[in-house]
Amino acid sequence: MQAVIIAGGKGSRLWPASYKNHPKPFVRMNDGLSLIQKTLLRAGCVSLVRSIIIVTRHDYVPRIKAEYEEIAHLMPKGVDLSFIEEPFGKNTAASIAAAALSLSAKNSEDEAMLVLPIDHIIADQEGFNEAVSKAAEIAKNGQENSAGKGQLVTFGIKPTHAESGYGYIEFSGNEVLGFTEKPSKETAEKYIKHGNFYWNSGMFCFTARTILQEMHDHCPSVLSTVRRALETSKRNVNGDISLDVSSFSLVSEVSIDYALMEKSSNISVIPCDIGWRDVGTWEHFSHQTQADAKGNRLRGDVITHNASNCYVDSNGITIGVVGLNDVAIIHTERGLLVINKNSSEDASAIYDKTET
């Protein structure tokens, strides 16, 4: 199995922990590991994985290599690491197409690919490994009703509450009936009551052969432009690929969900209960910190009075919080963010004004 880590995101919703010179892959979690380190370890600890491809921005590569060296002693032996370097981000459809095309060129098109974003926490590694094994089998051979045809496989997370910040997968058995991107709170509550919806984890498993055929059928322009970019790209002695700037600039910027998953009828879902959590916004990021009796999640030197359901990370200074509810306050060397937790998605507006 080939693990493909998508690590090109800016992390604009995690400002000020994530900023131009310190993007999302390098944000540290409570345990001291960065998001890229945790994802590398997650992939490396899957027994089926024999190599890892990191698709990322060209300027992130030296830093990722340094982050890898910090945890190399924790990685299983024999797992190879290589890079596909993008000159700029074009979203996940382009990244996945580049990885699949590179594997196809190596005659590995029938080997399972495990696609992992970096902004996740998974508490149950053993449960995750079991889910990956099931997904790999379906990716290669499909379900009983697929006539031996390999399928696209997504990992569905059993929801614990109505969450409007996640996408949803409607299912029947292992068949995917449809995707919904971040519904309203009211719609999410209906999904939970209905009982046949999972959270969309954004993790996938498929063979290069299957994903390339599906992209040919449903988003051919993305596939063809990425193929041209690969044909004009540079490769070093380690097998790393540096995508050509002018060719890659012609690729449409679109997510794999919009480009393909919402259109394909050849998708299965593996239900997972693996302690999964997205940490791409401050509301979600805060949940790695234990809440006190009033629902406050506090890191560092923080004093509260008549405050509830707040997340505060003081990072070296004393912060006092009085009479506030549902607020996140994050202090770093880059800046200070005060945000209503219900508006966590909008932290990117501050990033756009300070980091561009």
101 confidence band (pLDDT: 50, 70, 90) = very high
In this predicted structure, what is the pLDDT of residue 144?
Answer: 67
Query: 114 near 100, Cβ under 8 Å?
Result: no
With H, G, I as helix, E, B as strand and everything else as coil, classify residue 342: helix
In this predicted structure, what is the pLDDT of residue 148?
Answer: 66
Separation between Cα atoms, residue 178 and residue 263, nearest integer Å: 9
Please tell me whether the overall predicted TM-score, pTM, comes out greater than 0.85 for this model. yes
Q: How many CB atoms neighbour CB 249 within 10 A?
A: 13
In this predicted structure, what is the pLDDT of residue 94?
Answer: 98
In this predicted structure, what is the pLDDT of residue 143?
Answer: 78
Q: 307: buried, middle or exposed (CB in 10 Å: 19+, 13-18, 0-12)? A: buried
Q: Is the dihedral of CA 27, 32, 38, 41 positive or negative?
A: positive
Of the candidates 328, 284, 278, the residue with the CA atom closest to the CA atom of residue 308: 328
Q: Can you point out the beta strands (E) in the chain?
A: 2-6, 51-57, 80-86, 112-117, 120-122, 152-157, 168-172, 175-180, 197-207, 234-235, 241-242, 267-272, 276-278, 297-299, 302-305, 311-313, 319-322, 327-331, 336-340
Mean pLDDT of 84-112: 95
Query: 7 near 55, Cβ under 8 Å?
Result: yes
Mean pLDDT of 297-306: 98
Q: 19: buried, middle or exposed (CB in 10 Å: 19+, 13-18, 0-12)? A: buried
Amino acid at 334: R
pLDDT 10s digits, 189-201: 999 999 999 999 9
pLDDT 10s digits, 170-218: 999 999 999 988 889 899 999 999 999 999 999 999 999 999 999 999 9
In this predicted structure, what is the pLDDT of residue 142?
Answer: 87
For residue 164, is it left (φ>0), alpha (ψ between -120 and 50) or beta? Answer: alpha
Q: Whats the size of the chain, residue-wise?
A: 356
Q: What is the mean pLDDT of the chain?
A: 95
Q: Enumerate the β-bridge partners of residue 5.
A: 54, 116
In this predicted structure, what is the pLDDT of residue 72?
Answer: 96
How is the chain split into domains, by residue range? 2-278, 282-355
Question: Is a pLDDT exceeding 70 seen at residue 87?
Answer: yes
Q: Enumerate the β-bridge partners of residue 197.
A: 170
Mean pLDDT of 100-123: 94
**In CATH, what number does 2-278 get?**
3.90.550.10
With H, G, I as helix, E, B as strand and everything else as coil, classify residue 65: helix
pLDDT 10s digits, 219-238: 999 999 999 999 999 999 88
pLDDT 10s digits, 47-70: 999 999 999 999 999 999 999 999
For the chain, how big is the Rg over CA atoms in Å? 20
